[in-house]
């Protein structure tokens, strides 16, 4: 109950922050993107993961103002990084189902991109496949508007949800993020190997970019690279870090 009360004031008290996790091209060794991940620096409990308070944000409707702030913040960060020479970087933000279906998502994205002066193609949203199977018409309308703005759409946690693959044909999808459940035992598990290779083949044939999530070891990354997936995100390279630390990683690697 007190967490709910605190959440109402979290934005104005500037307790919300974005951390960034690098997405790395393992062929060149360079950072090509950053996933923005929300953190709440609670005065009493310290850093809270969104897993702890996203349901509360959705129930209270605070996902809307916090989501708006988050999209603006990510766009402004990208602009600041471009000005500092962190070129050709993309930023992706996670969009919750409630946010996706709200009337204001398209307007918020449009406005944040215009006022931050970033290139729309460098901004991406991450949605889950479960969000695509409900109300196809509404989803099509929203995704077409986002495509018109020029941003990218990634499917997060790919392979984990319930869906038909038909949406890959129906909707404008630029990137598939292979769920980390398939990566965990990729070197040993025959089924994971077959599934991941099939996803990679499909992505390549459909001209969709691939990112493997949850890569924690060099061996996993080698296996994925040999299977044709050369972009990875995971603790092996870095956990999500504050912007300053991200810049240091970029300076070191790029």
Residues found near ligand G in the complex (CB under 6 A): 21, 37-38, 49-51, 54, 70, 93-96, 156-157, 180, 213-216, 234-235, 240
Nearest 5 degrees, angle CA 112-CA 116-CA 120? 70
Give the span between the Cα atoms of 30 and 25, in whole angstroms: 6
CB nearer ligand G, residue 137 or residue 176: 176
CB nearer Na ion, residue 157 or residue 247: 157
Q: How far apart are the first and last CA of the chain?
A: 45
Residue 233 beta carbon to Na ion: minimum distance, rounded to whole angstroms: 9
Give the span between the Cα atoms of 35 and 99, in whole angstroms: 18
Asked whether 155 and 209 are in contact (CB, 8 A), the reply is no
216 touching Na ion, by CB under 5 A: no
Asked whether 220 and 251 are in contact (CB, 8 A), the reply is no
CB nearer Mn ion, residue 178 or residue 224: 178
157 touching Na ion, by CB under 5 A: yes
Residue 113 beta carbon to Mn ion: minimum distance, rounded to whole angstroms: 20
For residue 38, the partner it binds in Na ion, Mn ion, ligand G, none, with Cβ less than 5 to 8 A by kind, is: ligand G
DSSP string, 183-195: HTTTTT-HHHHHH
156 touching Na ion, by CB under 5 A: yes
């Amino acid at each position: 109950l007190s967490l709910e009360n605190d959440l109402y004031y979290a934005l104005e008290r500037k307790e919300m922050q974005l951390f960034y996790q690098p997405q790395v091209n393992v062929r060149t060794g360079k950072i090509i993107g950053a996933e923005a991940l929300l953190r709440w620096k609670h005065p009493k409990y310290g850093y809270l993961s969104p897993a702890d308070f996203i349901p509360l944000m959705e129930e209270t409707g605070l996902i809307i103002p916090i989501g708006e702030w988050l999209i603006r913040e990510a766009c402004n960060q990208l602009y600041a990084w471009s000005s500092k020479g962190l070129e050709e970087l993309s930023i992706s933000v996670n969009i919750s189902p409630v946010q996706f279906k709200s009337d204001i998502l398209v307007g918020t994205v449009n406005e944040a991109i215009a006022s931050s002066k970033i290139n729309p193609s460098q901004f991406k949203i991450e949605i889950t496949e479960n969000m695509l199977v409900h109300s196809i018409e509404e989803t099509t309308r929203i995704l077409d508007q986002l495509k018109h703005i020029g941003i990218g759409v990634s499917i997060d946690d790919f392979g984990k949800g319930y869906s038909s693959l038909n949406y890959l044909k129906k909707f404008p999808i630029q990137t598939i993020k292979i769920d980390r459940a398939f990566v965990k035992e990729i070197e040993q598990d025959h089924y994971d190997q077959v599934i991941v290779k099939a996803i990679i083949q499909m992505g390549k044939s459909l001209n969709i970019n691939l990112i493997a999530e949850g890569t924690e070891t060099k061996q996993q990354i080698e296996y994925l690279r040999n299977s044709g997936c050369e972009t990875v995100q995971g603790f092996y390279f870095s956990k999500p870090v504050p912007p300053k630390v991200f810049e240091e990683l970029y300076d070191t690697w790029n």
